[in-house]
Structures are given as structure tokens and as C-alpha cells.
Structure 1
Amino acid sequence: MDNQGKERFAKLLHHRAAALQKGEPVAPPIVSATTFHLPEVAGASHVYGRMSMPTWEAVEAQLGILEDAPCVAFPSGMAAISAALMAVLTDRKRLIIPADGYYVTRVFSAEILAAYGVEVIEVPTAEMETTDVSGGAVVFLETPSNPGLECCDIALIAARVRAAGGLLIVDNTTMTPLLQRPLDLGADIVVAADTKAPGGHSDILFGHVATRDAGIEERVRNWRKLSGAVPGAFEAWLLHRGIETLEVRMERMCASAQTIAERLAAHPRVTNLRFPGLPTDPSHAIAKRQMSGFGFLIGFELASAESAEAFLAACPFVTQTTSFGGTHSAGERRARWGDPVAPGFIRLSVGVEPLEPLWGAIKTALDVTQ
């Protein structure tokens, strides 16, 4: 994280202090009320739980500091993604999405949005910089892509999309606003699954939409209110707590991932290693230019699906699970979900375990894998 990011995070940790009265709790309370005292509606701070809730607002304030933009909270990353897409695919009916991105975004686009007359075009992340964005298209990026960790130039694509009268949405789940700032690079909207690193403990679903366009923000908030896609107070409270340790967790996770990627590169059983922090990675130059860190996700291949499954079963410090960004290192053979990757491809999410025991377990499991 750069110095500006560190200053922003320090502000986040103390942003509630100025408004606290004597004797009030430093941590925000969990307010789970759905109804509020309303002798009259005019001037009421809260009206009904589907419209607003104090604990959502506390976490939206945190996220707003990180994004340097208004944020709208949702009960999952996909709820945030679908809200952003539904808010802008009204008069716009052309959507360009990554063919190698998160598979649920692709399924939602193909099975739901297409049924409403949206033309869905899938383009590999590596080709996004040169693809045809004419006609006021909505362009949706993941960079690095999930799970392949391919990067593309956000600023370049944002300029091309804007010149063509379109809108750019960036899914920034893999990096978080600590390591990559798509709004600063020209994106119109950022979406993210805070289920991952911001929550950090694999115990909540949460997501958010961030935008500096007041009209888009209003449509996204209206979608949340009318669709009922609202987060729970307890989940918001857990996310608020998780975000307060995000910076220190990310520092450990990213540093460990860098070292582990360098060591994996030298292992004879590992092929097609992807990690943006390696100078040999095809995305390294772009990542170095637009990110302030290289993240905690590593992609690599073993010889077969059986080899990948044997490695995961043999490594006691890599949890076999989907998702990523938690305190526990996690690994998954992504082809089982239908991702366009090799059968032996593993997405490794590096957690907060001490480096050497973690690497020792990974190396031992690799050494015994056939």
C-alpha cells in the first residue's frame, strides 16, 4: 500500500471519533431494528429496515473512505454485481464481460440479462484493451481476472469506453481498494465481494458498489430498496470489525504470496505459474503500473486433475474450499466449476499463517504428489 493509502486507512480507523459523545461506544452497535419511531415521517433519520439501517451506514462510511466515493452495501458480492448491472443496463443493451472471469457473473449475464434483451459479449481479459467498445456499451472488467490472474490496463480501457459513450464497471474483489483504485483510473463503478479479504474470516457474505456518479448511485440505492437485496445488521457489524484489520492482514498475505510464488516458480512439478508480482509474469508490467501491491492469489498447474487433488489433500495448511481472502490459506481445483483452465489448475489463496510453516507444508505436499 502506498503512503496515501496508509493515510486513508488511518483515517478509517478513527473516522467515528469526531462524532462520539461522552460515554458512547467506540465500536458501532448492532442495530437490527426493522421499524423505527415515526410519529411523522418528515425529518426521520430512519424509516424502515429495507430502506436504511444504522449498522449498514457505519460500514458504508468505512468503505467510502477506502474507495474515496459513496458506497452502497449489499448482502453478497453477486448482489452488488447484479445491482450495478441492472442499474445501468436500461437504455444500454450491450454488455462486454470477461470470458475468463468469475463464472457466476457470466452465468447471470447469459441466463438473466440476455433474457431481458441485453447482448452479452464475452472477451478474454487479455483482449479487453483492443476489443470493440463502440455503441455505448457497458464494459465489465476483472483485473486480475478470477481465477487466471490476467491483468488489463484499466486507465486505457476507461478512456476508450468513455470516448465511445459507454460505462466501465470494474470488479475489484481480488485487490480491494488498498491495492488497486479503479475509480481513480477512470472506472465509473467499482463492485466487490467484501466476503473475501475485507471480511477476512470466511463467516459473512457481503458486497458493495462504489461510484462517484450521483445518478448511478441513486439508481443502485433504489434497486436495493425496491428489490429487497439488503444486508443484515449482524453481517454489516462483522464486516466493520473485519475491515479494521484488513491492512495488517493484507500486508502478511501479500508478502507471503510473493515469497511462495517465487519458490513455486523453482519447483519442478509446477507449471504455468501466474502471480502478477513475478517479473516473468505476462501481467507484471501492467500490475506494477496500476497496483500498489500484487495480492495474495497465486495460480499454477500440476500435471493432472488427480495430481492437483492429491496435492490439496496432502497439504494440512491449505484448506480445500472455494472462495478466497480468508485468514486460512485455501486451495481449489477451479476446473471443477467449469472455469476455462487446465484440469490441474489450482487457485491458491495465501492466508495469514507464518510463512515458513506454510511453505514447508506446501513443498512437502508437492514433493509427494505424483
Structure 2
Amino acid sequence: MDSKNKKPATAVIHAGLNSPQQGAPFTDGPCFASTFHLKGEADSADYQYARFHNPTWTALEKGLSELEGGETVIFPSGMAACAAILSSLLVSGQTIVLPADGYYATRAYAEAFLQPNGINIQLVATTKLLDIDYSDVDLVLIETPSNPLLDVVDIKRLADKVHTSGALLAIDNTTATVLGQQPLSLGADISMSADTKALNGHSDVVFGHVSSADKQLIERIRLWRKLAGNIPGPMETWMVHRGLATLDLRLERMCANASKVAAFLNTHSSVKSVRYPGLESDPSHRVASAQMHHFGFVVSFDLGEASLAQTFLNNAALVFEATSFGGLHTMAERRARWGTDDVSQGLIRLSVGCEHVDDIIHDLECALSKIAK
């Protein structure tokens, strides 16, 4: 069966696997090697040196390429994947558009390492991306849904507008994952993800990847990885490949849980507001319904004050207070504690996990009762 015709649950389980061979394992273990036998000419073997390539990379990159619809290059973190795009595709005098309301580290990297080298940065809120002129822009790197307020932009419309001006469009697809949204099929030039989050899903590996159907773009990014030495370890690569196999199963539970949690929070008297694309009242709902295969597992809600948010977190026995998302465990944090996001002091980003939804809601209800007025 062609990989494009497989259902998502089947696709992730078989992604990157070799055809069955008599007596062979289903999956190869991680290849721990810094050097490979190389006789004669340098290009006479598939593997030459571990900074260039590794069989364990090949398996995962093959699997992710099947899912993304474009060739994939893997990295040791989501920020390494992001840095590869920004550092390999821009030169002095060019302009990049970044989300004003997206992941802070992306903006921080650009301001610290691109701006001093003559690259212009334009920050635009997700909800305003379709309103601006891209005629002097070279690259647009945005995050949809945005983190942490979950605003969504119409990728196809944005791609048409960006391409009309001759620019490239890259989508940070971390929150939706490759099963939740297909940026390349919607017209984006590049899809990237911090696989630390839901794609691996077990809160035990830092990882990332970049995919593109444009051969020249992806080869430029691959060359940057090779020369910069920003490479993933074989063990981490193998662990992500193993985690990928259960992505559909985990997302099914997490997203179903998130939908019920969002509905519960949306009617609670102590909650000022809730952001979740699955709520029909949410500003992101219409566009998300059209381009996403699920509404995600992240719910952001506002308790109004920092002290109330912290009281809630202190009393949530089941919810782990942490600064990541997408794992099996339900996690939450008060985002304003970092001082990097322009959000309410009482905003909590909740990553809904795989626990039974009744237990999650009961735990939230008990914690919210401690701040009820």
C-alpha cells in the first residue's frame, strides 16, 4: 500500500520501517558509530562519518518524510531545527517576519544572532499575518496554532500571499504535529517541529526536524547541519522513532480529553477566559476546522491574577507544573512567569495528557475550588 493512502494510525506505526525480512527484527537498534569503513573514493559508501549521516537518522528521516510529504532533516532540538532554517536561508540585508506572539526563543535567537549580522526582523501577531505587505520580505516563519494563545492563520491563504511577493513560508507545526496539520500540502515551503513535545511524547528526549518538498531548500539545510555539526545522537533518534509509532493513539486520547477539559473550564466561574480552537466560540475555530485534523491538546485559560494561578497550580495534584507540553502527563504552567510572553499574569497553558479525563477534570475542579470566591 502506498504510504499516502494509509490511515494516520497505520502510517505512524510503519513510518520508516524496512520491508519485512525473514529472521530480521521489526526495527533496527540505534547505530553507535563515529566512523565507518570507507575504502577508495569518498563517495563510495552510503555512510562515511557520523557528522554527515547515520543509519538510525536515515530510518527516522524516511518515516517523517513519508508523513510530511517532503524530504526531512532531523536535529538535536526544536531550536536547532529553527536555527538551521534561519541561519542557512538568510543573508545580510534580507528581511524575516516572525510571530510576535509565538515561541519566545525563536525571536530571541533572531534578535541575538541574525539582527547583528544585518538581517531585518519584522514581528507580526498571528491574527495580523494576512493584513501586511510582504513585498520586501524574504522569509516568513510563523507558528500556528500560536503558543500560548492558540491563534490560527489560514496557511493556504498566507502561502499564496507570501509567494506572490517572492518570499518563502515556513511553519512551526509543533503544537499541531504532522498528524494534526499538513503545512506542505497547504502550500508552505517548509514544515518544522520541536519533536521534544508530542511527536516523541514521553518527556524524555529533546529533538526536532525540518521538512520540505523543495530539494534545493532541504539540501541547504542539510549542508548547514553537516558543517555546523548540529547533529542528533543515535539513541535519541531511535527513541523518537519509537515514540512516533504511538503518536496517533496518544493524540486521539489527548485531544478528546482537551475538548472536554476546555468545555469544563469555559463554564467555570473562576475562569476569566479560555482559548481552545475546538470551542465553537473561539476566534480560531473556523480556520482550525478547515485546515486541522484535530484541535490539539493544549488549552490556555486565564485566572486573572498571578497569585490565583499559582494557588491553582499548587493545589493541582495530578497536573505537573512544567515548561513543556505534549507528554503523556498533563502539564501546566503560568506563562507570564518567564517575562517573555505578552500575556495575562494569570494565564495558564495546560497540556492535557493521556490520563482518564474524569480524573483530570476532578483534579482541576478541586484546584479551582481553592481560588473560588
From the superposition, tell whether residues 166 and 228 of structure 1 become closer, same or farther in structure 2 (CA, over 3 Å).
same
- Mapping 1:251-330, distance limit 5 Å: 251-330=252-331
State the alpha-carbon separation in 1 of the partners of residues 179 and 198 from structure 2. 11
Return closer, same or farther for 1:283/1:290 CA change in 2, 3 Å cut-off: same
SS at match of 2:243: helix
| Residues 33 and 336 of structure 1, relative CA distance in 2, 3 Å threshold | same
Query: Could you tell me which residue of structure 2 aligns to residue 345 of structure 1?
Result: 347
Question: Secondary structure in 2 aligned to 1:120?
Answer: strand
Q: Within the alignment, does 1:38 sit opposite 2:47 as a pair?
A: no
- Residue identity over aligned pairs, in percent, reads 44
Structure 1 residue 17, shift from structure 2 partner: 5.7
Q: Which residue of 1 aligns with 2:21?
A: 21
Deviation beyond 6 Å, 4+ runs, structure 1: none
Task: Describe the SS at the equivalent of 2:178.
Answer: helix
Q: What's the CA shift string for 1:294-334, capped at 9, x where partnerless? A: 00000110021011011011011110000100000000000
With the length of structure 2 as denominator, give the TM-score of the two structures: 0.96
> Secondary structure, in 3 states, of the residue corresponding to 1:61?
helix
Residue aligned with 2:349, SS: strand
Q: Provide the aligned C-alpha RMSD in A.
A: 1.5
Deviation at 1:20, TM superposition (A): 3.9
Distance 1:182 1:357 in 2: 34
Task: Flag structure 1 segments of 5+ consecutive residues without an equivalent.
Answer: none
> What do residues 224-252 of structure 1 show as CA deviations (whole Å, max 9, x unaligned)?
00000000000001001100000000000
Is the contact between residue 84 and residue 220 of structure 1 (CA under 8 Å) also seen in structure 2? yes
- Are the structure 2 counterparts of residues 368 and 6 from structure 1 closer, same or farther at C-alpha, using a change threshold of 3 Å? farther
| DSSP-derived class of the 2:135 partner | coil
Counterpart code for 1:22: Q
Match of 1:356 among 347, 355, 358: 358
1:143 matched to 2:144? The reply is yes
SS of equivalent to 2:122: strand
1:353 partner SS: coil
Q: Is the contact between residue 336 and residue 347 of structure 2 (CA under 8 Å) also seen in structure 1?
A: yes
CA distance in 2, matches of 1:157, 1:68: 19
Q: Cα distance, 1:95 vs. partner?
A: 0.6
CA distance in 1, matches of 2:56, 2:18: 18
| 1:181-228 deviations in Å (ceiling 9; x for gaps) | 111111000111000001101100100000000000110000000000
Contact 1:100 1:339 in 2 (8 A): yes
Equivalent pair of 2:173/2:191 in contact (CA under 8 Å): yes
The runs of 5 or more residues in structure 2 that have no matched partner are none
**CA–CA distance in structure 2, aligned partners of residues 6 and 302 of structure 1:** 43
Moved more, 127-136 or 353-362: 127-136
Query: How many pairs are equivalent?
Result: 368
Look up the SS of the partner of 2:179 in the other structure.
helix
- The CA distance in 2 between the partners of 1:227 and 1:17, in whole Å, is 29
Distance in structure 1 (CA, Å) of the matches to 2:5 and 2:249: 13
Change in Cα spacing, 1:108 to 1:5, as seen in structure 2 (3 Å) is farther
- Per-residue CA deviations over 1:342-370 (Å, capped at 9, x if unaligned) read 00000000000011011100111011125
Give me the TM-score of the superposition, normalised by structure 1.
0.96
